Amino acid sequence: MPKNSSLFSARSFYCFIAVKFSILVLKRFALTLNLVFLVSINQGENPNDSNEIFE
């Protein structure tokens, strides 16, 4: 019985980390898209030029 509970807690722990990480990545991705979008609007150029600035 202890083996099952430790396996379950490890699995839920990894799931928790995966969810947190994916949320972080999504936020970062959305932020980068917003920045590129804003810069392209402000400069009046295509997003490819402003993309090189952030990389």
Q: What is the pLDDT of residues 14-55, one digit of tens each?
A: 999 999 999 999 999 999 999 888 888 777 655 555 555 555
User: Under a CB-based contact definition with an 8 Å cutoff, are residues 21 and 43 in contact?
Assistant: no
Q: Is the pLDDT of residue 2 over 70?
A: no
Q: Is this structure's pTM higher than 0.85?
A: no
Report the alpha-carbon distance of residue 34 to residue 49 in Å, rounded: 15
The tokens describing 17, both together, are 């980390």
Residue 37 pLDDT: 86
Report the alpha-carbon distance of residue 20 to residue 23 in Å, rounded: 5
For the chain, the domains span 2-54
Helix (H, G, I), strand (E, B) or coil at 4: helix
Task: Give the number of other CB atoms < 10 A from CB of residue 26.
Answer: 10
